[in-house]
Amino acid sequence: MAKIKKIIKTIKVDVALCNGCRACEMICSAFHAEPKYSSNNPERARIRVIRDPLRDVYLPVYAGEYAEAECMGREKYVLDGREYGECDFCRASCPSRDLFKEPDSGLPLKCDMCEDDPPQEEPLCVKWCINDALIYEEREEEVEEEVELEEMETALKVLLDKYGLQKLTDTVSRLSQKD
Amino acid sequence: MRYSEAGYNLEIDLSTGNIERVETDPVWTELYLGGLGTNAKILWDRVPPETEPFSPDNLLIFSTGLLCSTPAPGANRTMVTTLSPQTQLMAYSMMGGFFAPELKYAGYDKLIIRGKSPSLVYLWIHNDKVEIRDASHLRGKGAVETQEIIKQELKEPKAHVAAIGLAGENRVFFASIEQGRSSASRQGIGAVMGDKGLKAIAVRGTKYDINIVRPAEYIGLCEDVMKYIQHRQANPIPGVMPILSILGSPQEMLHVDEKWHTENFMWGNSRVRKKDFWNKEIEEKWKETQENVRTRLISCYNCPIKCGATISIPGIANYMMKCFSKLTYTMAAFSDLDFGFRIAQRATEYGVDGFSCPQVMAFAVELKEAGILTDKDFEGCPSDNDGRFFWLLDRIVRREGIGDILADGTYWAAQKIGNGAEEYAHNNIKKHEQLPLKLGMLNPIYFLMYATNEKINITQIEGQFPQAPFATMEEKEEFVKDWVQVPDEKFKEYFLKWEFRGEYSMPFYPGVEACCEIVDWMERMHYVDDSLGMCAGLSSFPLKPPYHIHNYPKFISAAAGIDMDADGLTQIAKRNRNLVRANNIRRGMRRADENPPQNHWKKRFPELEEALLDGYYKFKGWNRDGIPTKESLQELNLAYVAEDFIQRGILKNGQD
């Protein structure tokens, strides 16, 4: 199978440079408001800073995949003498906590790297972090090319699986006669 | 829908336990913007002048500003307003941090507290859910400790808590309110909180979105500010001392070179100047001390400038510090930086003002040396210098023995002690301790600022205009080249002509009129900041800040939809300025109170000072006694103030 190039978007988080201001949360929620920047509320942000100033814990975390169930167990990390909580490094919107949930609907939030048309130079959280705790990087990776079905083919395959070939052809011919 | 503001205040009566969410009048936003402006209006309307600071009728207002929580970098200030037990005037101490944004995301512009709780309580504000909770288990706890305990018992690590320590509980006249890395310290507002039986306020806001009228335009303005901040930090202003060359409040947590402060500010009870103090050995020792305890440089909400730091000293609890409190204890006690960091930790837990408290202790030590206070007053005090200051601090916040008298600040303590003690309370304006500075030649600009500023803190009026002339014309020309912040080109002329010696030097240059204009400009920007909730460190305090009279109107109008230009904003700042003054005039403040400490400058010029004050009052639309005239009040839509003044006989109808 052929190899193709894929862009991997990465935000490098340097916790030592975080000044704890939460501008990343604010601008994330503003960017994703409708219309853009018309409102802000960090509770809607797809990045949150886990903060515990007196213990010098500052950890920006991005919203990742939704998890239906919480983990079976938990772990704690001690790094440079600082203890990080059980779920601090986890990106999931999950039943165990109130993080990364749209406050009105409770629906999960997920970082989309500020995909936009025309594209932004970098995610907004990175742009607003002028202390460089957040750095945007892109790298190319070679991945196996997957044989991708065309959109219509995918849709027909679903119908085929559900109703069988006979029903599907009958329906198509009936629809074509109507015109 | 309201733009840029929540449109609701939270009113809490601690005597009755009544809690109300009250819609605000949008017309007030157009007239006063918010923050300090609307605080002053509420105080005027609801707190009659005969009210004592420690009365249930005194209000304690925690306010956000109009731009707080919008994307504008640095819009995070909480303006706390009440009557001060120390000055007996309107207090408007402020703090940065995270409290105001959290309150606004909970859906409130202000928290207005009245009455007195019969027992010690704390408030828990979680969006629409507001509770008055028992705080008896927190009695005597430190202000920092209290914040942590409350967050734990509420299981809300993201809540932000403003708390008082032992000083506030015991109504020490210079008690502060502490919150995260910030504190509202001046004028004893922590004592009022303690008097109300309120140990702390915890806030968590998740429900309220801050709306912007013209988002695309607004975010463009904010991005310009961010770019300018980066440019300004990368290009410090040449020719001024490091702490004034970049943005933020003085970068005391960053810088270790303290030659300027230690050799120019006074030690002890603002007495002794140590002209050759700073040397290589001290520099190395202090650098080591600071770098060993400073864990991280930190910021307030939505601000890239790192004015604060987490301080971790082995064996004692961690705390956070900012600005000049690093040196106030050190210098008051003639000690070293290690002592400064150690005693500041205890002082932060107790919740005391880092300016007044060290001076009060140094004042006590001086009185002891002069024989006015006796061994009996110091019974049980350790004999070593540092130990003596820890001992005094402990006595003051508990109001034990001599501490009970000292807890009222140097002015009131001197009155009580008598026997010549008044001479030692020598560094006050309006009964409040000032920066420990004693200088040579009268500076006419600073004379006016010290005399008339009602925040009673020089840092809350100065900024914008350089503190001293530059040496050469090349340097001056270089400075004015990109000085876009000036409201008028004439300020550049004033600065270009200004020299160290000769015809164009202090005290007679800048002339009276120019001094009035310069001071008015600086003060105006502070009043705008305090209404918008913008940190002075990005605006009115440093030279060439990102926010100024030309771009602020655009921010206000794109965020809140209020038509605004520089003249309109100037008019609002003037209105708010006069309203603050009206509150104080009604409480008895007059020209005689507007007097810098006699020894602040060695060379005084009584006639010039009279002319400056006369000129400034006239410029401001105030009469010879400093009272706003009927005409100037009417022009500012403050006819109700004029009527009140006439009714009370403060102003006579038909004359100024």
Pair B430, B436: CB distance under 8 Å:
no
Residue B71's pLDDT is 98
Instruction: Tell me, yes or no, if B229 comes closer than 8 A to chain A by beta carbon.
Output: yes
The radius of gyration computed from the CA coordinates of chain A, to the nearest angstrom, equals 22
Using the beta-carbon criterion (under 8 Å), do B300 and A23 form an inter-chain contact?
A: no
pLDDT band at A1 (very low <50, low <70, confident <90, very high): low
Instruction: For residue A53, give Cα distances in angstroms to A16, B249, B396, B412.
Output: 13, 20, 29, 38
Identify any residues that bridge with B12 across adjacent strands, giving them in sequence order: B19, B113
Contacts of A55 in chain B (CB under 8 A): 318
Contacts of B300 in chain A (CB under 8 A): 21
Q: Read off the pLDDT of each residue in B504-532 and give the average, rounded to a whole number.
A: 98
Which residue in this structure is represented by tokens 């650098």?
Answer: B287
Q: Which residue of A has its CA nearest to B220?
A: A37
Using the beta-carbon criterion (under 8 Å), do A53 and B181 form an inter-chain contact?
A: yes
Using the beta-carbon criterion (under 8 Å), do B318 and A55 form an inter-chain contact?
A: yes
Burial state string for B50-66 with b = 16 or more CB within 10 A and e = fewer than 16: ebebeebebbbbbbbbb
pLDDT band at B644 (very low <50, low <70, confident <90, very high): very high
Instruction: Tell me, yes or no, if B66 comes closer than 8 A to chain A by beta carbon.
Output: no
The domains of chain B, with CATH numbers, are 8-204 (3.60.9.10), 236-355 (1.10.569.10), 356-433 (1.10.569.10), 439-647 (1.10.599.10)
Whole-number average pLDDT of chain B: 96
Q: Read off the pLDDT of each residue in B299-305 and give the average, rounded to a whole number.
A: 97
Contacts of B148 in chain A (CB under 8 A): 54
Residue A3's pLDDT is 86
Contacts of A125 in chain B (CB under 8 A): none
Two tokens, residue B290:
């600071």
Give the tens place of pLDDT for each residue, B260-278: 999 999 999 999 999 999 9
Give the predicted TM-score (pTM) of the model: 0.95
Using the beta-carbon criterion (under 8 Å), do B303 and A21 form an inter-chain contact?
A: yes
For A23, the closest of B157, B302, B320 (CB atoms) is B302
Query: CA-CA distance, B315 to B346, in Å (whole number)?
Result: 13
Distant-in-sequence, close-in-space partners of A32: CB < 8 Å, separation ≥ 6:
A44, A46
Contacts of A130 in chain B (CB under 8 A): 226, 229-230, 304
- Rounded to a whole number of angstroms, the distance from the CA of A103 to the nearest CA of chain B is 7
Using the beta-carbon criterion (under 8 Å), do B320 and A58 form an inter-chain contact?
A: no
pLDDT band at B250 (very low <50, low <70, confident <90, very high): confident
Q: Which residue of A has its CA nearest to B319?
A: A54
Give the tens place of pLDDT for each residue, B14-62: 999 999 999 999 999 999 999 999 999 999 999 999 999 999 999 999 9
Q: Read off the pLDDT of each residue in A33-43 and give the average, rounded to a whole number.
A: 97
Does residue B306 surpass a pLDDT of 80? yes
For A39, the closest of B209, B226, B295 (CB atoms) is B209
Q: Which residue of A has its CA nearest to B306?
A: A19
For A56, the closest of B148, B211, B296 (CB atoms) is B296
Q: Which is more confidently placed, A178 or B192?
A: B192
Kind of pairing, strands B177-179 and B90-95? unpaired
For A40, the closest of B148, B209, B295 (CB atoms) is B209
Show contacts of A96-103: CB within 8 Å, 24+ apart: A96/A70, A96/A71, A99/A48, A99/A61, A99/A63, A100/A46, A100/A48, A100/A63, A102/A44, A103/A41, A103/A43, A103/A44, A103/B206, A103/B207
Residue B95's pLDDT is 97
Least confident of A27-41, A149-163, B196-210: A149-163
Using the beta-carbon criterion (under 8 Å), do A130 and B71 form an inter-chain contact?
A: no
Strand stretches in A14-146, DSSP E: 39-40, 47-52, 57-62, 77-79, 82-84, 134-144
Using alpha carbons, select from B315, B348, B353, B313 the residue that is nearest to residue B332.
B353
- Rounded to a whole number of angstroms, the distance from the CA of B232 to the nearest CA of chain A is 13
Best of A41, A51, A124, A125 to disrupt the B interface by mutation (most B CBs within 10 Å)?
A: A41
Does residue B656 surpass a pLDDT of 70? no
Pair B298, A19: CB distance under 8 Å:
yes
Instruction: Tell me, yes or no, if B254 comes closer than 8 A to chain A by beta carbon.
Output: no
Q: What is the ipTM of this complex?
A: 0.96
Q: Read off the pLDDT of each residue in B283-305 and give the average, rounded to a whole number.
A: 97
Torsion sign, CA atoms B580, B583, B584, B590: positive
What whole-number percentage of chain B has pLDDT above 70? 100
Q: Read off the pLDDT of each residue in B606-632 and give the average, rounded to a whole number.
A: 98
Residue B615's pLDDT is 98
Does residue A149 surpass a pLDDT of 80? no
For A22, the closest of B70, B302, B320 (CB atoms) is B302
- Rounded to a whole number of angstroms, the distance from the CA of B156 to the nearest CA of chain A is 11
Residue B455's pLDDT is 85
Contacts of A36 in chain B (CB under 8 A): 215-216, 219
Contacts of A26 in chain B (CB under 8 A): 69, 71, 301-302
Q: Read off the pLDDT of each residue in B306-317 and give the average, rounded to a whole number.
A: 96
Q: How many CB pairs under 8 A join A and B?
A: 96
Using alpha carbons, select from B481, B459, B461, B460 the residue that is nearest to residue B470.
B481
Does residue A147 surpass a pLDDT of 80? no
Amino acid found at B425: A
- Rounded to a whole number of angstroms, the distance from the CA of B38 to the nearest CA of chain A is 24
Residue A81's pLDDT is 87
Query: CA-CA distance, B584 to B362, in Å (whole number)?
Result: 30
Instruction: For residue B211, give Cα distances in angstroms to A36, A102, A130, B107.
Output: 11, 17, 25, 12
Pair B323, B249: CB distance under 8 Å:
yes
Kind of pairing, strands B110-114 and B60-63? antiparallel
Highest-confidence segment of A143-157, B239-253, B458-472: B458-472
Instruction: Tell me, yes or no, if B99 comes closer than 8 A to chain A by beta carbon.
Output: no
pLDDT band at B655 (very low <50, low <70, confident <90, very high): low
Instruction: Tell me, yes or no, if B234 comes closer than 8 A to chain A by beta carbon.
Output: no
Best of B219, B222, B307, B319 to disrupt the A interface by mutation (most A CBs within 10 Å)?
A: B219
Identify any residues that bridge with B125 across adjacent strands, giving them in sequence order: B130, B203
Identify any residues that bridge with B174 across adjacent strands, giving them in sequence order: none
Q: Read off the pLDDT of each residue in B215-240 and give the average, rounded to a whole number.
A: 96
